[in-house]
Structure 1
Amino acid sequence: MDDRINELEIKLAFQEDLLDTLNSTVARQQHQIDLLQEQFRALYQQVRSAATTAAEADPQQEIPPHY
């Protein structure tokens, strides 16, 4: 009976360690996702502002494409 209890305690300890490892992995991945989303938002804003600036450009000041 003691052997079975010891085996269960060992399995439980391994499962707790695995759960802690998985938890830290998920937390790290969530942090990476948050950083990527921030970078994506910044890039999106840059593209939008560049498109807005290009749309507001004065066509008379542009050099014709054949020059």
Structure 2
Amino acid sequence: MSLCRRRLSACGTVWLADHFLPVLVSTNALWTMTSIESSYVITSLALVTLYSSTNELNGSCSRFDRP
């Protein structure tokens, strides 16, 4: 996978995380934590958001970029 395609995928993931993460966080904590997969997805989305918002040598990826 090329660097450009990976950056595009990261920006798309950040946009999805920005759109869906507040909904996931605002739901009942017991429902969210009932499966390992749920906590893994929430953790992954948060980490992708933090990672993708940092500057890289080839530019930056903003959470406001739309796929």
Q: Work out whether the TM-score is over 0.5.
A: no
With structure 1 as the length reference, what TM-score do the two structures score?
0.33
Q: When you count strand as a share of all residues, which structure comes out higher?
A: 2
More helix by share: 1
Q: TM-score, normalised by structure 2?
A: 0.33
Please tell me whether Structure 1 or Structure 2 has the larger radius of gyration of its CA atoms.
1
